[in-house]
Amino acid sequence: MKARTRVAIAILAFAALPLILVNGSSYVERRADAARSADLVLAGNADELAALLAATRSRWLESVRADARLPSADALLSTEGPPDPVQLSRFFAAIGSRDTVNINAVGLLGLDGRVVEDSRAVNRGRDESLAPWFLRAMATGQPQMVGPYTAPGDAVPGLFFTAVVRDAAEERRGVLRVRMEPSVLGQVMASALVATPGLSATLLDPEGRVLIGVGTLGERAMAIGNDVARESAEVLTIGDERVAVAPVANAPWRVAVRQPAAAWSAPQGTLKRDWLLETVLLLALLLGASLLLGRRIAAPLSRFSAVAGRMAEGDFSPVPRWSGAEEARQLGTALDGLATQLRETIGSLSRELAQRREAEEALRASREEYLALVEQLPGAVYRCANRDGWPMDYLSPQVESITGYTAEALLAGDAQGYTRLMPAEDVAAIGPVVDEALRAQGRFELRYRIRHRDGRLRWVWELGSVHPSADGGAGRLTGVLFDITEKETANQAMGLLRGGVEDRVGGDFFEALAAGLVRVLDVDTVLIGRFRGAPPSSLCSLALAHRDGRSERIEFGLTGTPSGALVEAGALEVVDDVHRRFPDDVDLQRRGLRAYLGRRLDDRHGRPIGVLAVLNGGAMQPGSAAARLLDLFQARVAAELERVIAAEALQHLAETLENRVAERTRELEAANASLSRAMEQLVQREKLASLGSLVAGVAHELNTPIGNALTVSTALNDIHRQFAGELGSGQLKRSALERFVQENTEATQLIERNLQRAATLISHFKQVAVDQASMRRRTFDVAELVVEVLSTLSPTLRRAPHQVQVDIPPGLCLESYPGPLEQVITNLIENSLVHAFEPGRTGHIRLSAEATDAGIRLRYEDDGRGIPVDVRHRVFDPFFTTRLGQGGSGLGLYLVYNLVHGRLGGSIRLLDGGTTGVCFVMELPAVAPAAGEETDG
């Protein structure tokens, strides 16, 4: 804390404390005064209220005493019989009009206590002899006040005033009783409290019960002892109220003036606020004064402190002008001199230090750049002596990634660890190259192998240079080492492809590739296999090449093997402990293999067909060249394997094709025979259906004429019986005889016409039936034949609104088969009725014929909806119908075509009739071919 602040706080503390104490003491006194004042207000109100109630009570008592002395009172009590109503009304009005609000009833009681007259009619005759106001008045002879009191039979209390009525001789005549509303007491109290808002008042009975209350708290019960304020006013706190209680003189009442404690203490709260305000203002003034004083005292010290602080931070500039007391100015000048000396000394030291730091910084930067350069090289840097075994004295850390050993490990001992990693033949091979460089004092470039810590061989490319010793000899060798295993492996793989694998196919390809990969990758085994089963369940090796040159063929189940896992995974690389991961693969363990890198071979459709895998007895490195070579050869091997499989399938197909053709031919022949039988059955069924339709038509058509004949013959029988009766009675008149003859003649003619009609129909039906059933050949007139056909179809035609027009000249005769021709015409008409016309529309059918050179041309037309263009070429096909499931069999026109082209020896075609209607044209020969000579359709 600064000295200035400390000084200010000390001044503030010493000055403020006494002031606060004095002011606090004053506040306590003022607060007590405020409480006393509030109590005085309460007590004054209570005293005033008590005095007012006492005075009012006395006034009321005096009033009732005076009323009782009115002569009319004595007169009303002394009157025998009903009183004069005018006198009575005036008496009651004289008393009641004094307070129309509060005087409730005025009554005159006899000496026996019975109500003689009352301003309230219902009170007349009531016995009040036991009422306290009556008893007290009679006992004392003085005016009395009773209540608030609830009389027996009344629901609410009243305030009763009584006075004895005396006659002129001062003899008692009765009692005047005035009943007032008790609220009148409240009115008195309320009027007294008007001057002091916020106060409530309660009138208490001797036991402390609330009689009347005014104001917010007035009617609230209060717990107050019987001994409180019996003689004089008392102020006390009851619950959350401040209460002043005072006795009412000459009455058994006490009056309490009440105020909420919060309102009572409000002025004290104001005092408290004022006191706090004063205190805060006082403290603020003291604070300001003490700060000013502290600043004056502590300012020189602050400046010395600031200058010293600046010097500590290296700022030695002098203060322009020291101010203040003499001692302070001298001390400041001395401080400036000291600062000057320090500035010069520190300046020289700083310069020397800066130069040394710059030199060290340059050296450190140079070292860091060198190390960064060496360590960021993709290869390792070395330095060795030119002695046997080339002992190293430096190897950069990158040598670990090349050899698997740290630089420290290779530098340990005789420092020839790196040289020992080289195969002896490679050491021998590079010796001459190095010797040549030593002689030439120049650079050399080497390519050799080293045995990596993982046991595998790595290729290294080395670029070195010779550093002569002081005597001119080759003292040291330095250079860089690069791992070129990847590049060498790739080169060898490319050589493998170019050197004999690429041109081979099938088994030779797989064998050559497996053997080459063993050699290039320096691994124990390479497996190329083909899956068996769908999904794959076993693997048959196509090539299994070993390091020692052996090759074998195996087949094994995939369950629990790495190759089985490949089916799902697609690629698998287990670089160590593969036998732990696949403990069920006994063969793997037996061969002592620890690493497995494999790729699944898929065909062009993505189906797994085989495996290409590398297996090794030692652990392999993740991300080795072997994995990349597998990726490189995966597609090529898969393509070759797919080609082999396709060739096998082609061979198999060629072997089985002839058998399959023969089998399919037999199946087709059987199906064709079955279809022919089914069609024959359907045709026969269609013919039977036509015959059934014919019989139904015949029955219906014959029913009309035969029924008519039967009806007429029945009527004729009745006429005959009536006529016989008249004849037998001998009363036959001429007119009856003539009527009988006329009716007989008409009936006979009717019967004859109907039977003739039936005979004609039967003849037609017989001809059609015989023709259709027997396929009889005869010469017939085409027009007559058409008429007969229409007769048989007339029941059907009559049910429809359509019209049939026949334009066939008579005399066109054919020597042919009428039955099939009728069948043809019937089918065409029924076809039109079923398919051609919209419901509710009247259609037209037209049959016409003309003679041709070879016979006749018969044309059948309708104006229905026609046949869609895209299906016209199929209308004569069997089973073709546009109403399948709705009554169409699909055989109608097929039968027509067969009959016309077959038995009738003609032809039929469907003309292109546009969008409406159909038009069939039949060319029929005049002489039909004999049976077995039908034209080929």
Partner 1 sequence: MKRRALLGGMAAAAGLGLLGCRPEAPSGATGALALRMVCDPWAGYYPAALAEVDGDFAREGLTVSMERSTSTDRMLAEFFAGRFDLMCASLGDMIPIAARDPTLRIVLTSDESAGADMVFRRRDVDPAAVARLRIGTDLNGFGELFMRDYLAHAGLAERDVQWLHVDAGDVAAALDAGQIDVGNCWEPFASAALAAGHVKVFDSAQTPALVTQVAVCQRRLLVEERERMRGFCRAWFAATDRWLADVPAGAARIEAALRLPAGEASLAGIRLHTLDDNRRLLTGTPPGLAPVLQRYAEFHARRGEAPGDLGALFEDAVLP
Instruction: List interacting residues with partner 1 (CB under 8 A).
Output: 1-2, 4-5, 85, 89, 92, 97, 100-102, 104-105, 119-122, 124, 155-156, 181-187, 189-190, 212, 214-215, 219, 262, 266, 269-270, 272-273, 276-277, 279-280, 283-284, 287
| DSSP three-state, residue 885 | coil
Cβ-based nearer residue to partner 1, 186 or 332: 186
Shortest spacing between CB 170 and partner 1, in angstroms: 31
Cβ-based nearer residue to partner 1, 183 or 713: 183
Shortest spacing between CB 196 and partner 1, in angstroms: 14
Amino acid 305 reads: S
Cβ-based nearer residue to partner 1, 107 or 564: 107
Q: What is the Cα–Cα distance from 75 to 116, expressed in whole angstroms?
A: 12
In terms of DSSP bridges, do strands 595-602 and 608-616 run parallel, antiparallel, or are they unpaired?
antiparallel
The number of beta carbons lying within 10 Å of the beta carbon of residue 55 is 13
Shortest spacing between CB 253 and partner 1, in angstroms: 16
- The 3 state secondary structure assigned to 12-54 is HHHHHHHHHHHHHHHHHHHHHHHHHHHHHHHHHHHHHHHHHHH
Shortest spacing between CB 88 and partner 1, in angstroms: 8
Rounded to the nearest 5 degrees, what angle is found at the Cα of 9, between the Cα atoms of 8 and 12? 85
User: Residues 536, 608: contact at Cβ < 8 Å?
Assistant: yes
User: Residues 520, 489: contact at Cβ < 8 Å?
Assistant: yes
The number of beta carbons lying within 10 Å of the beta carbon of residue 147 is 18
Cβ-based nearer residue to partner 1, 49 or 904: 49
Q: What is the Cα–Cα distance from 748 to 753, expressed in whole angstroms?
A: 9
CA-based R_g, the chain, Å: 73
Cβ-based nearer residue to partner 1, 268 or 489: 268
Q: What's the CA dihedral at 766, 772, 776, 778 to 10 degrees?
A: 70
Shortest spacing between CB 133 and partner 1, in angstroms: 19
User: Residues 28, 272: contact at Cβ < 8 Å?
Assistant: no
The long-range contacts involving 910-917, CB below 8 angstroms and separated by at least 24 positions, are 910/867, 910/872, 910/875, 910/876, 912/872, 913/861, 913/866, 914/866, 915/866, 916/863, 916/864, 916/865, 916/866, 917/836, 917/861, 917/862, 917/863, 917/864, 917/866
Tokens standing for residue 741: 């003859």
Shortest spacing between CB 25 and partner 1, in angstroms: 18
Cβ-based nearer residue to partner 1, 279 or 690: 279
Cβ-based nearer residue to partner 1, 193 or 544: 193
CA distances from 268 to 27, 45, 263, 272 (A): 10, 20, 10, 6
Shortest spacing between CB 73 and partner 1, in angstroms: 18
Tokens standing for residue 603: 């065909």
Shortest spacing between CB 85 and partner 1, in angstroms: 4
N-to-C CA span, the chain? 131
Shortest spacing between CB 213 and partner 1, in angstroms: 8
Alpha helices in 730-817 (DSSP H): 734-774, 782-799
Cβ-based nearer residue to partner 1, 105 or 513: 105
856: CB partners within 8 A, 6+ apart: 782, 812, 814, 849, 850, 924, 926
Cβ-based nearer residue to partner 1, 153 or 728: 153
Cβ-based nearer residue to partner 1, 5 or 796: 5
Q: What is the Cα–Cα distance from 594 to 578, expressed in whole angstroms?
A: 5
Shortest spacing between CB 241 and partner 1, in angstroms: 14
Shortest spacing between CB 215 and partner 1, in angstroms: 7
Shortest spacing between CB 218 and partner 1, in angstroms: 8
Cβ-based nearer residue to partner 1, 272 or 859: 272
Shortest spacing between CB 45 and partner 1, in angstroms: 15
Shortest spacing between CB 328 and partner 1, in angstroms: 22
User: Residues 514, 623: contact at Cβ < 8 Å?
Assistant: no
310: CB partners within 8 A, 6+ apart: 316, 317
Q: What is the Cα–Cα distance from 46 to 192, expressed in whole angstroms?
A: 10
- According to DSSP, the residues that pair with 172 across neighbouring strands are 166
Q: What is the largest CA-CA distance in the chain?
A: 194
Cβ-based nearer residue to partner 1, 160 or 322: 160
Shortest spacing between CB 339 and partner 1, in angstroms: 27
User: Residues 61, 160: contact at Cβ < 8 Å?
Assistant: no
Rounded to the nearest 5 degrees, what angle is found at the Cα of 659, between the Cα atoms of 654 and 662? 130
Shortest spacing between CB 181 and partner 1, in angstroms: 3
Cβ-based nearer residue to partner 1, 63 or 935: 63
Shortest spacing between CB 243 and partner 1, in angstroms: 19
Cβ-based nearer residue to partner 1, 1 or 168: 1
Query: For residue 627, with 0-12 CB atoms within 10 Å meaning exposed, 13-18 middle and 19 or more buried, which class applies?
Result: buried
User: Residues 897, 935: contact at Cβ < 8 Å?
Assistant: no
User: Residues 241, 224: contact at Cβ < 8 Å?
Assistant: no
Q: How many residues does the chain have?
A: 937
Shortest spacing between CB 156 and partner 1, in angstroms: 6
Cβ-based nearer residue to partner 1, 126 or 857: 126
Cβ-based nearer residue to partner 1, 242 or 802: 242
Tokens standing for residue 642: 């797919």
Q: What is the Cα–Cα distance from 7 to 205, expressed in whole angstroms?
A: 69
Cβ-based nearer residue to partner 1, 263 or 427: 263
Q: What is the Cα–Cα distance from 704 to 757, expressed in whole angstroms?
A: 10
Cβ-based nearer residue to partner 1, 5 or 538: 5
